[in-house]
Structure formats: structure tokens, C-alpha cells
Amino acid sequence: MTTGLRIAFLPLTDAAVLVAARERGFAEEEGIALDLVRTTSWATLRDRLVFGQVQAAHMLAPLAVAVTLGLSQQPAALAAPYKLNVNGNMLVMACDFAKALEPVIASRLADPLGTAHDFAAAIGRWRRKPVIGVVHRFSSHAIMLRYWLASAGVDPDRDVVLRVLPPSLTVEAMHAGEIDGFIAGEPWGSAAVEAGLAETVAIGERIWRRGVEKVLAFRESWLEENPQTVDRLLRALVRAAAWCDDPAHRDDLTHLLARPDYVDQPAYLIDRALSGTLVARAGEPSIVSPDFMLFGREATPFPWRSQALWIYSQLVRWGMVDHDPDMAARAGAVFRPDIFRRALADSNVPMPGASMKLEGAVAAPLAVGSRRGELTLGPDSFFDKRVFDPERIDEFLSGFAPLR
């Protein structure tokens, strides 16, 4: 028996696992007929999920938390039992603005903290507050941008203008002079660089290595009512993620994503994120960042509750939600490692034995306890060397000095 399943997605490189699951037969082998519904904006995608037009969605991790906490226009209890990728975004700024930053691109990207201070100084020389595009208020990119700017004393609510626009409109908005730069998932940053409109200023992978990015989100009620379908889908996605991470399949994956019904961008631009060979300034040699975006290895799909709580801590930090134990518990419960373990219980997929960890504490590859097989986690450090203990959120938040 085949089960039909509609999943909304945005035209981004990190939709790769869903595309591979459909196009390479992994979903079909689990008895699932995937219908991938291409969507333009995160707000529309959110509404399609909340109102039941789709059963699941390729969603910004902070948006899943925000919707559950009632911070979005359409509150609903969401559940995320699977992470679709980690990292994969970049901040690009107009070439004129970037002239005030470290001129050697490789050095600029290798030193996010120094670049943040250069960025703060550049704001003072710019003709007005820089207008930076973000794809959603509750996006991993926007939260990461706030974290990065604040490290240099920049108040993201006072010293810059954050303007929300869909990822696919970012390059057009730069061309029209409506924004001075943007932070978004690939391939849109690469497209702006290729057009000569921008230079890369920072990449997510250097701000928070293996930072949470997109999740597969369900309405919690639907997830609980359809356990077998959810489990079959997760098994298909784990296989698809391993296929996506295999360099031997990169050319096939690149051309799949380039199709008009998916990302609809040139294959060579899409390949940059998949291969981790980034062109940060038009006409210059590429810069290698092999962990720029991960799909399957190092337990990437596993939904650590500590990562949902880190997101929550940032929502508290920026006054988007009041901090209390009930809200923290609800935020942490959005990520569902219990469902992930249930779905993969009979597989050979190694998975962590714990559901939370100290975020930012792994400085080098680390072998960890696994319920099956050997598992090594890659470095997950923050650029400012902070460590987030999900059981000490108050202590973590008190460590940030007030902005001037």
C-alpha cells in the first residue's frame, strides 16, 4: 500500500534530502508517494503546514519553535523529529560596504570575531544604517546574524535595519538597491556574488560549526496520529541523506536541484555549497569549506533537544519571548529524538544515546556513546568560544553584556 504525502519546501540547496528521497526512489521503497510542493516564502510555507494543506514542511528550525510558542501569526503545536541539514548559509554585503573589511577574503572568513568588529566600524562609515535582508524573523540566519553582530557591540535592533524577504528575491532586491546585503541559505548568496553585487562577509559554518538549520516539521497532532507513515518517511530520508553526502552523487544531485521545479538556478552555483568550494568574491579562486553543509554524516539528522533550547535562549535574549520554565520545556519538546529513535530502531544507523548535549563544547572529532555502531561527532564550536548548557539557560544568558 502506498501512502501519499505532501511536503512543502522552498527553492534552496538544503531541500536536497527531500528531493533525493523523491527522485531517487528512497520514499517509494518505503511505500510513500512524495508530492513536494514548491513554495515562495516561509510565511506561506508555515501557513500551508498549520492549516493542513501539507502534512510536513522543510522548515527553518527557529520558526518551528516560534510557531509552537505562539510567537507567529498562526500558533500551532509543531514537532520536528528530523534535521534536514546543518549550516549552509552565508552573509553577503555590497562590494562598496565590503571595502571597509579585511581585504583578504580567506582571512575575513577565518576570523568571524575580527570581521564582526570590522563590520561594526564599517557601519559608521556607511551613508546610512545598512539594510540587511533576512528570510524570516525566526530564521536560523537571522538569529545567527544577531549573535554575530552583538559580539562586536552592534545592536541589531538599533544599528542596522533587518528587512524580511523571501530567499529567491534577495538578489533582485540587491540589484534594485533595496538592501545592502543579506543572509540566506544557498544558492542565493553565491548568486549575488556571481552577479558582482556582493562579497561574502561571513559563513554560518564559521559562526556556529554544525549549527542547526532546517528541520522536517509536522503538526504534532498529525505526527502522533500517523506513526507508521512518519517512521517510513524518516527511514527514507536517512537513506537519502547518506546518498546526498556521498561525493560520487554530487553531480547527479546538483542537476536534480537545478531543475525548474526545484531550485531553478544554474548547476554550477548549486554545486558550490554541496562541494564546499565557495567563490566569495567574483573573479577570485574558490575557498574550501568542506563542512559548509552536511546532510547525513555525524548524526546530522538527529534532533538534539539542546539545539531547540539554544534557539529558545536567543528568542529570550532578543525579547521575543519571556523566559519561564514552561516556555523552555515547550521549546525543547519541539525537537523529537524519541520519534527519530523509534523510526530507526531496527536499522543499523548509529545514533546518540543522549537527547541533549553541551552545544559548542566539541572542539575536535569526538567518539560518543551510540545505541548502535560507532558514532563520531564533528566540531560544533561557536566562533566566540561560548558553551551552551541547556540545563543552565539563565547562566548562559547572564554571560552576555548589555549592548551600549
| Mean pLDDT along residues 42-49 | 97
Instruction: Give 358's contacts (C-beta < 8 A, 6+ positions apart).
Output: 306, 387, 388, 389, 390
- pLDDT on residue 404: 62
pLDDT tens by residue, 106-126: 999 999 999 999 999 999 889
Q: What SS3 class is residue 341?
A: helix
Grade residue 127 by pLDDT with cuts at 50, 70 and 90: confident
As a whole number of angstroms, the distance between CA 210 and CA 361 comes to 12
- pLDDT on residue 73: 81
Percent over 90 (pLDDT), the chain: 92
pLDDT tens by residue, 216-228: 999 999 999 999 9
Among 385, 337, 383, 328, smallest CA distance to 361 is for 385
Grade residue 157 by pLDDT with cuts at 50, 70 and 90: very high
The arrangement of strands across the sheet holding 214-219 comes to 32-38, 3-9, 56-60, 214-219, 78-83
Residue 271 has pLDDT above 90, yes or no: yes
Residues paired with 185 in a beta bridge: 89
| Residue 2 half-sphere exposure toward CB, CA atoms < 13 A | 10
Containing 230, the helix (H) or strand (E) segment is: helix 227-245
Among 208, 160, 165, smallest CA distance to 311 is for 208
As a whole number of angstroms, the distance between CA 38 and CA 110 comes to 35
CA 167 to chain centre: 13
| Mean pLDDT along residues 80-92 | 97
| Residue 174 half-sphere exposure toward CB, CA atoms < 13 A | 32
As a whole number of angstroms, the distance between CA 190 and CA 240 comes to 25
As a whole number of angstroms, the distance between CA 145 and CA 147 comes to 5
pLDDT tens by residue, 375-399: 889 999 999 999 999 999 999 999 9
Containing 146, the helix (H) or strand (E) segment is: helix 140-150
As a whole number of angstroms, the distance between CA 326 and CA 331 comes to 9
* Dihedral sign of CA atoms 154, 158, 159, 163 in order: positive
- pLDDT on residue 371: 67
Write down the number of H helices and E strands in the chain: 19, 14
| Mean pLDDT along residues 352-380 | 86
Rg, the chain, Cα only: 20
pTM for the complete prediction?
Answer: 0.97
